[in-house]
Amino acid sequence: MSTSVSTMNTVTLMKSSSELVTPLHLQKKALIYIRQSTLHQVLTNQESLRLQYAFQQRAHSLGWHPEEIEVIDADLGLTGASAQHRTGFQELVTKVTLGQVGMGRDFELSAKREQHW
C-alpha cells in the first residue's frame, strides 16, 4: 500500500510542477547546472551524472524546446569552497541575474551530502 501512495504522490508532484510553468518561463532558457566536488566523484558516480543530465528531458517535458535547454557542467570535479575558479557557476549567476533564465536546476554532489546518502 505504501508503494501505491508513494507512486501517487510522485505523479501528483510532477503534475503540479508542470502547472507552475507559465508561458513567461518558457520564453527564457531552462538552465541546468551540474557539479560534483571532486574528480573521484565524477569518475565513480556515473549513475548520478546520468540522472543529472537526464533532467534535460524533464525540462523538455515541461515545455522547453531542446535548443532552449542549456547545461552548464564546466565545474565538474571542482570544489565549491570558492566561486573564483568556477566559471560555470559564474555563468549561472550572470544569466540568472540578467533575467535570462525561466527555470534553473542546480545539481551539486558534495562530499558532505554524499555521506548522508
| Phi, then psi, of 78 in degrees rounded to 5 | -105, 135
Q: What's the whole-number average pLDDT of the chain?
A: 77
1 occurs within a structural domain: no
pLDDT of residue 105: 74
* Closest to 117 in 3D by CA, of 58, 54, 44: 44
pLDDT of residue 45: 87
Instruction: Give the percent of the chain with pLDDT over 90.
Output: 28
pLDDT at residue 27 is higher than 80? yes
7 occurs within a structural domain: no
111 occurs within a structural domain: yes
Domains contained in the chain, number: 1
2 occurs within a structural domain: no
Instruction: Tell me the per-residue pLDDT of 53-100, one tens digit each, with 9 for 90 and over.
Output: 988 998 999 999 999 999 999 999 988 888 888 999 999 999 998 989
pLDDT at residue 40 is higher than 90? yes
User: Does residue 34 contact residue 73 with C-beta atoms inside 8 Å?
Assistant: yes
Q: Which is catalytic among the residues 37, 48, 61, 82?
A: 37
- Cβ-proximal residues to 59 (8 Å cutoff; 6+ apart), any chain: 30, 32, 69, 103, 105
5 occurs within a structural domain: no
Domain containing 65 equals 22-115
Go through 55-71 and write b for each residue having 16 or more CB atoms within 10 A of its CB, e for each that does not: bbebbeebbbeeebbbb
Q: Provide mean pLDDT across the span 28-48.
A: 90
Active site residue 37: yes
